């Protein structure tokens, strides 16, 4: 009764605004569908942002070079965001990913530069080290019950310290074939963009088509129920941390390769950027929801806003404030619209 | 189906482009002078990392803005708020696409060489300031030698403690310029066997962290003779902890930078030496070099590009300031 009265009241309001077509039942259901899924609403928002920016900066924004640059700049963050999305779906997160990015890159560079190890062996050891860090995180959190925030915060410091120990002030002059991993181009687009797209495609397939990965939604939705239904929650959580750290390791090696140098300061603040992108892409800190392409869309949204601010010469003082405000407004508007239309 | 896959694989393999084997030097002067004839909406862009760091804001950026006002041209300051070199590289890459008149880049790390070469190859006059970037095609560099900063601190500390005692030092670990500074100081101490280094610490450019480290070091080594600092916040942090321990003046402190708080600490005798950089000169003259290059001021030939030269100096060492209790008044009055 109350609901009907509310609908009637809205109908009158929208008629007064002369936008009563919103209450066409078919359109309401379409709108509900779009708003129900963050990836759809975010996609629409992205199109709006791109079109608007193209009109405002016609000479500099809508160019192939600029778009490929945006994608290149967000490729490293997105690869890490895929792992973070998996963790958030299962209801946990990892603050040490930024440090793992630095450590994997520095260790790989160290082995190539000081021990002259061949590129594939050094890269494999760098990746293996990342996986071991992920395993330690996962084991202590899942099996020993340490709080994920405390564990990964401590690991963040340890791993950053190791990166500093290994690389000192950074390692330059890396082998040509290592640099080629991140600096080569395919169809005039730099390789990290392709690696990012492959990562997204593979993990989207895994999370939608395989029973193993779909279990993370059950774990994030209700951990106890998942446990009672026979899912090995602890093992699954540990594996999620290993995947996340592995992807951070891939990102770190790619970043070093792209820069042609390994810096111990790489990935500083990356964890928060990635968590923000993933939440924006539809995940929740309480777990159970989120889709892998959402990680890409969240990162693209942040990358686009950052690019537009650079093109419009907004000073660094304002960039973080504006980005923060846009994120809050976007999430708030999304929630408000969902409440209004999805529930009716 | 097979033929489609084969054709796709063929296209993919043959459209793959490997990076060049070596950085190309021939682009150093490429198209830089071509922009001269068509200067429309003249804009000079400064790109740094940690754009909100007070030292950068008060010295580098203030001088750059002042230069822009004086010359009547647009100046923009961009870069990440945190110390994030990859983010600085991303910003430079994005700015190159907008074709600014000139780029003034803080040489935060040798890793930015590649993107500087990209800017130069795109025909944008590019000047590096603060720390030089090896293996890059920048048109000019203005700055100081961080090794000399460390050496100056080391030599003063040796005098202050008579070449005898325990020393600890701190700064932001992992930064190329600071590591060079550490090395300069350590090379001086090597000659004095009675000087013992008790620790190298990362204060994360944070006053509280520097104070905490100093307090811990003082507890572990009550006979500590001296402290050397290498970032803007090391000095105030070290001085705070030394004062709290009641050892002001007894534990000697040398550090960098000359903000009002540093000067006050020298005046009261807690800090014995400040090594200052002439940061205003980095950006003022850096911007002026860009302007002169674009406007062909003092052209040295009919066509500098074809002659393979530039009309600006290639490397400028702006030198260091040595601030002690003897000359402190001049700096306090100036501010």
pLDDT digits (tens, 9 = 90+) for A56-85: 999 889 999 899 989 999 999 999 999 999
Contact check, Cβ <8 Å, A263/B79: no
Residue B121, domain member (yes or no): yes
Which of B122, B174, B205 should we substitute to test contact with A (largest number of A Cβ atoms within 10 Å)?
B174
pLDDT at A10: 60
Q: Does residue A15 or residue A325 have the better pLDDT?
A: A325
Strand duo B320-323 + B273-277: pairing: antiparallel
Partner residue facing A260 (CB), from B79, B91, B114: B114
Do B160 and B239 fall within a single domain? yes
* Residue B44, strand partner residues: B75, B102
Domain identity same for B158 and B230 = yes
* A to B CB pairs, distance under 8 Å: 117
A278-306 pLDDT, tens digit each: 988 888 888 888 889 999 999 999 999 98
Q: Which residue of A has its CA nearest to B110?
A: A172
Say if B2 falls within a structural domain: no
Q: Measure the CA–CA gap between A26 and B292, rounded to whole angstroms.
A: 65
Are B51 and A315 in contact (CB < 8 Å)?
A: yes
Contact B254, B228 (CB under 8 A): yes
Predicted local confidence at residue A28, as pLDDT: 56
- CA B225 and chain centroid, separation: 29
Question: Does B51 map to a domain?
Answer: yes
The verdict on ipTM greater than 0.90 is: no
Does pLDDT of A5 surpass 90? no
Domains of chain A: 36-342 (1.10.3470)
CB contact under 8 A, B111 and A269: no
pLDDT of amino acid A26: 53
- Top pLDDT among B4 and B109 is at B109
pLDDT of residue B232: 86
Q: How far is B94 from chain A (nearest CA, A)?
A: 7
B19 inside domain: no
Q: Structural domain of residue B293, as residue ranges?
A: 28-144+279-318
Rounded to the nearest angstrom, the minimum Cα separation between A311 and chain B is 7
Cα distances (angstroms) measured from residue B234 to each of A157, B11, B254: 20, 56, 10
- All residues of chain A having their beta carbon less than 8 Å from the beta carbon of residue B84 are 265, 268-269
Contact B78 A316 (CB under 8 A): yes
Residue of A nearest to B135 (CA): A173
Same domain, B55 and B137: yes
| pLDDT at residue B249 tops 70 | yes
Q: Which of B41, B97, B135, B177 to mutate to test the interface with A (most CBs of A within 10 A)?
A: B97
Q: What is the pLDDT of residue B237?
A: 93
Q: Taking CB atoms and an 8 Å limit, are B77 and A179 in contact across chains?
A: no
- Assess whether B189 and B122 both reside in one domain: no
Report CB contact under 8 Å: A261, B18: no
Query: In sequence order, what are the residues at sequence separation of 6 or more whose Cβ sits closer than 8 angstroms to the Cβ of residue B139?
Result: B28, B32, B120, B125, B126, B127, B289, B293, B310, B312, B314
Take residue A50 and report the two structure tokens written for it: 């791109």
Lowest mean pLDDT, pick from A37-46, A263-272, B3-12? B3-12
- With a cut of 60, say whether residue B156 has pLDDT above it: yes
Distance from CA of B89 to the nearest CA of A (A): 9
- Residue B32, pLDDT score: 45
Contacts B99 to A, Cβ<8 Å: 60
Same domain, B120 and B190: no
Nearest-by-CA chain A residue for B48: A316
Contact (CB<8Å) A315/B114? no
CB-nearest to A260 from B18, B85, B111 is: B111
The size of chain A, in residues, is 344
- pLDDT per residue as tens digits for the range A7-18: 666 665 555 444
**CA-based nearest residue to A179, from B334, B23, B289:** B23
Do B260 and B313 lie in one domain? The reply is no
pLDDT band at B29 (very low <50, low <70, confident <90, very high): very low
From A307's Cα to the closest Cα of chain B, the distance in A is 7
User: Residue B34's pLDDT is what?
Assistant: 45
Q: Is the predicted pLDDT of residue B331 greater than 50, yes or no?
A: yes
Secondary structure string (H, E, C) spanning chain B: CHHHHHHHHHHHHHCEECCCCCCCCHHHHCCCCHHHHHCCCCEEEEECCCCCCHHHHHHHHHHHHHHHHHHCCEEEEECCCCCCHHHHHHHHHHHHCCCCCEEEEECCCHHHHHHHHHHHHCCCCEEEEECCCCCCCCCEEEECCHHHHHHHHHHHHHHHCCCCEEEEEEECCCCHHHHHHHHHHHHHHCCCCCEEEEEEEECCCCHHHHHHHHHHHHHHCCCEEEEEECCCCHHHHHHHHHHHCCCECCEEEEEECCCHHHHHHHHCCCCCEEEEECHHHHHHHHHHHHHHHHCCCCCCCCCHHHHCCCCCCCEEECCEEEECCCCHHHHHHHC
Cα separations in angstroms, A99 against A90, A124, B49: 22, 18, 19
Nearest chain A residue to B16 by CA distance is A186
Residues B123, B146: contact at Cβ < 8 Å? no
Task: Encode burial over B117-143: b for 16+ CB neighbours within 10 A, e otherwise.
Answer: bbbbbbbbbbbbbbbbbeebbbbbbbb
> pTM (2 decimals)?
0.80
Position with higher pLDDT, A252 vs A268 = A252
Q: Let me know whether B133 and B229 are in one domain.
A: no
Strand A185-186, strand B16-17: pairing: antiparallel
| Per-residue pLDDT band at B28 (split at 50, 70, 90) | very low
Structural domain contains residue B22: no
Average pLDDT, chain A: 86
**Interface contact A311-B98, CB threshold 8 A:** yes
Q: Among A70, A184, A263, whose Cβ lies nearest the Cβ of B18?
A: A184
Question: B81, B86, B95: best mutation site toward chain A, by most A Cβ within 10 Å?
Answer: B86
* Angstroms from A255 CA to nearest CA on chain B: 8
* A310/B51 touch (CB, cutoff 8 Å), yes or no: no
- Specify whether B269 is located in the same domain as B158: yes
Q: Residues B113, B152: one domain?
A: no
Average pLDDT of chain B is: 87
CB contact under 8 A, B95 and A316: no
Distances (CA, A) of A124 to A97, A127, A242: 18, 5, 15
Q: What is the mean pLDDT of residues B135-156?
A: 92
Task: Kindly report the nearest CA distance between residue B275 and chain A, in angstroms.
Answer: 22
Residues B115 and B156 occupy one common structural domain: no
Chain A residues with a Cβ under 8 Å from any Cβ in chain B: 60, 63, 65-66, 69-70, 72-73, 76, 163-164, 167-170, 172, 176, 179-180, 183-188, 255, 259-261, 263-266, 268-269, 307, 310-311, 313, 315-317, 319-320
* Cβ atoms A142, A235 nearer than 8 A: yes
Q: What is the pLDDT of residues A113-137, one digit of tens each?
A: 999 999 999 999 999 999 999 999 9
A128 vs A238: CA distance, rounded Å: 16
* A312-323: pLDDT as tens digits: 888 777 877 887
Q: Which of A12-26, B67-81, B177-191 has the lowest mean pLDDT?
A: A12-26
Q: Judge contact between A270 and A104, C-beta under 8 A.
A: no
CB spacing of B19 vs A183 below 8 angstroms? yes
Closest Cα of chain A to B298: distance in Å? 31
- CA-to-CA separations, B37 to A194, A334, B272, in angstroms, rounded: 40, 50, 53
Residue A153 tokens, joined:
């915060």
Residues of A in contact with B175 (CB under 8 A): 169, 265
Question: Domain total for chain B?
Answer: 2
Q: Do A69 and B175 touch (CB under 8 A)?
A: no
Nearest CA in chain A to B13: A186
Chain A residues close to B113, C-beta within 8 Å = 260
Helices (H), A290-343: 292-311, 316-337
Residues in chain B: 335
pLDDT tens figures, B67-121: 999 999 999 999 988 888 999 999 999 999 889 999 999 998 888 999 999 999 9
Closest CA to A151 of A133, A173, A163: A133
The answer to the question of residue B61 being in a domain is yes
What confidence category does residue A36 fall into, taking pLDDT thresholds of 50, 70 and 90? low
**Residues B114 and B179 placed together within one structural domain of the fold:** no
For residue B276, what are the β-bridge partners?
Answer: B321
Other beta carbons within 10 Å of A251: 34
Q: Which CATH number covers residue B251?
A: 3.40.50.2300
pLDDT of residue A20: 45
Same domain, B264 and B302: no
A265 to B89: CB separation less than 8 angstroms, yes or no: no
pLDDT at B14 over 80: no
Q: Using a CB cutoff of 8 Å and minimum separation of 24, what contacts does A223-229 make?
A: A223/A91
| pLDDT bracket for residue B12 (50, 70, 90) | low
pLDDT in tens, A176-232: 999 999 989 898 889 999 999 999 999 999 998 898 898 999 998 888 898 888 889
């Amino acid at each position: 009764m109350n609901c009907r009265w509310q609908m009637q009241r809205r109908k009158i309001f929208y008629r007064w605004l002369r936008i009563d077509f919103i209450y066409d039942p078919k359109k309401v259901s379409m709108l509900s569908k779009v708003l129900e899924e963050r990836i759809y609403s975010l996609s629409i928002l992205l199109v709006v942002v791109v079109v608007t920016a193209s009109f405002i900066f016609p000479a500099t924004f809508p160019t192939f070079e600029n778009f490929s640059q945006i994608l290149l700049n967000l490729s490293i963050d997105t690869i890490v965001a895929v792992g973070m999305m998996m963790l958030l779906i299962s209801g946990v997160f990892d603050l040490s990913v930024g440090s793992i990015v630095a450590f994997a890159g520095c260790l790989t560079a160290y082995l190539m530069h000081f021990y002259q190890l061949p590129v594939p062996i050094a890269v494999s050891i760098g990746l293996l080290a990342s996986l071991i860090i992920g395993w330690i995180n996962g084991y202590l959190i899942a099996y020993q019950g340490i709080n994920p925030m405390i564990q990964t915060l401590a690991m963040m410091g340890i791993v950053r310290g190791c990166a500093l120990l290994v690389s000192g002030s950074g390692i330059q002059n890396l082998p040509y074939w290592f640099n080629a991993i991140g600096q080569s181009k395919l169809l005039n687009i730099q390789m990290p963009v392709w690696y990012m797209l492959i990562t997204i495609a593979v993990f989207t397939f895994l999370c939608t088509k395989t029973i193993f990965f779909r279990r993370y939604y059950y774990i994030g939705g209700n951990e106890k129920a998942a446990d009672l239904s026979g899912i090995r929650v602890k093992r699954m959580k540990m594996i999620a941390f290993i995947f996340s750290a592995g992807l951070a390791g891939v990102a770190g090696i790619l970043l070093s390769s792209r820069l042609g140098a390994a810096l111990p300061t790489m990935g500083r603040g990356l964890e928060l950027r990635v968590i923000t992108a993933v939440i924006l892409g539809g995940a929740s800190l309480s777990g159970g929801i989120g889709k892998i392409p959402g990680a890409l869309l969240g990162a693209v949204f942040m990358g686009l806003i950052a690019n537009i601010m650079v093109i419009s010469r907004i000073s660094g003082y304002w960039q973080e404030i504006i980005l923060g405000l846009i994120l809050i407004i976007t999430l708030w508007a999304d929630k408000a619209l969902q409440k209004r239309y999805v529930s009716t | 189906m097979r033929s489609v896959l084969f054709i796709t694989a063929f296209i993919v393999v043959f459209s793959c482009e490997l990076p060049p084997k070596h950085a190309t030097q021939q682009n150093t002067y490429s198209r830089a002078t071509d922009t001269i004839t068509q200067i429309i909406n003249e804009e000079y862009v400064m790109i740094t990392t940690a754009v909100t760091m007070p030292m950068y804001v008060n010295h580098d950026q203030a001088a750059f803005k002042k230069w822009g006002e004086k010359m009547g041209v647009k100046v923009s300051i961009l870069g990440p708020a945190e110390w994030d070199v990859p983010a600085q590289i991303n910003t430079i890459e994005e700015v190159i696409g907008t074709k600014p008149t000139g780029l003034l880049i803080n040489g935060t790390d040798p890793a930015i060489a590649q993107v500087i070469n990209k800017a130069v190859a795109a025909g944008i006059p590019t000047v590096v300031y603060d720390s030089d970037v090896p293996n890059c095609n920048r048109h000019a560099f203005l700055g100081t030698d961080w090794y000399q900063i460390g050496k100056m601190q080391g030599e003063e500390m040796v005098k202050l403690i008579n070449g005898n005692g325990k020393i600890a030092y701190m700064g932001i670990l992992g930064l190329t310029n600071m590591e060079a500074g550490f090395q300069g100081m350590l090379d001086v101490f090597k000659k004095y066997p009675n000087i013992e280094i008790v620790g190298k610490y990362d204060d994360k450019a944070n006053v509280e962290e520097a104070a905490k480290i100093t307090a811990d070091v003082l507890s572990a080594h009550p006979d500590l003779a001296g402290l050397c600092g290498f970032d803007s916040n090391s000095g105030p942090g070290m001085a705070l902890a030394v004062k709290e321990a009641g050892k002001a003046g007894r534990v000697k402190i040398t550090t960098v930078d000359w903000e009002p708080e540093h000067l006050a600490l020298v005046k009261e005798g807690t800090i014995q030496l400040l090594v200052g950089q002439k940061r205003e000169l980095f950006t003022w003259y850096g911007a002026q070099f860009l302007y002169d290059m674009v406007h062909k001021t003092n052209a040295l030939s009919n066509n500098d590009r074809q002659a393979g030269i530039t009309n600006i100096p290639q490397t400028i060492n702006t030198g260091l300031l040595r601030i002690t209790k003897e000359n402190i008044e001049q700096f306090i009055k100036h501010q």
